[in-house]
């Protein structure tokens, strides 16, 4: 008997949800991010550069983007993760500058719950790469370009190439990296961390906590 994909139902149990949302912020916001990346003081990161201001979204010229990011984080928390009675608290927000040939080392974000990145000009040629926390010991020999939903379960890495104006959100402990920028121009992105403030767990349980 030949099994056809359309006849099979596969449920990715306990998946790590990645949310991609196309924002409608103005070009002025994207131009402001590029200008900040060119003129603001920065520090050297492991492979690229990071602007030193960790409250970037508090700047007036990025107010429109801040509203869009908080709205996306609220949707991710309530509609994707099914949290209730929590408030969105934006913790840090910063601009990454990855010059030609630079990269972004493998890492995750600690002391937060949701993390994300906004891409003013997209990142199709230099995608963000997420690592599977399950880490299959015997990995399938498949082409990275073949990312059918059924096959992504056993992949140890998944490449996501955001479009211009897209924001991507994920659970903060998920490890990710960016390979060397192959373009002759800088790769700009604005990353952020979010905490969900409120009561977590069931009322009256031994593991409930107010954050």
Domains of the chain: 14-127+161-198 (2.60.120.620)
Q: Look-up: residue for tokens 């070009």?
A: 27
Tell me the pLDDT of the chain (211 aa) as tens digits. Answer: 688 877 787 777 778 999 999 999 999 999 999 999 999 999 999 999 999 999 999 999 999 999 999 999 999 999 999 998 899 999 999 999 999 999 999 999 999 999 999 999 999 999 999 998 887 777 766 566 666 666 677 788 889 999 999 999 999 999 999 999 999 999 999 999 999 999 888 877 788 888 9
| Cα atoms in the Cβ-side hemisphere of radius 13 Å centred on 135 | 3
Alpha carbon separation from 35 to 7, 92, 97, 192 (Å, rounded): 52, 20, 11, 19
Find how far residue 84's CA is from the centre of its chain: 22
């Amino acid at each position: 008997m030949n099994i056809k994909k359309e006849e099979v139902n596969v449920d990715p149990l306990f998946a790590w949800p990645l949310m991609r949302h196309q924002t409608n912020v103005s070009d002025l916001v994207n131009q402001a991010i590029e200008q900040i990346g060119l003129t603001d003081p920065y520090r050297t990161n492991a492979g690229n550069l990071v602007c030193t201001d960790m409250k970037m979204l508090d700047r007036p010229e990025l107010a429109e983007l801040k509203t869009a990011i908080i709205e996306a984080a609220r949707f991710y928390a309530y509609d994707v993760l099914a949290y209730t009675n929590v408030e969105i608290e934006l913790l840090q927000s910063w601009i990454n500058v990855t010059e030609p040939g630079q990269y972004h080392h493998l890492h995750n974000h600690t002391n937060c719950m949701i993390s994300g990145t906004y891409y003013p000009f997209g990142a199709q040629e230099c995608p963000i790469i997420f690592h599977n926390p399950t880490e299959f010991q015997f990995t399938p020999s498949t082409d990275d370009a073949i990312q059918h939903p059924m096959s992504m379960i056993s992949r140890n890495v998944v490449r996501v190439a955001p479009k211009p104006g897209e924001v991507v959100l994920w659970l903060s402990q998920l490890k990710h990296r960016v390979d060397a920028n192959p373009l002759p121009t800088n790769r700009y992105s604005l990353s952020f961390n979010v905490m969900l403030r409120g009561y977590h767990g069931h009322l009256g349980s031994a593991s409930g906590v107010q954050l």
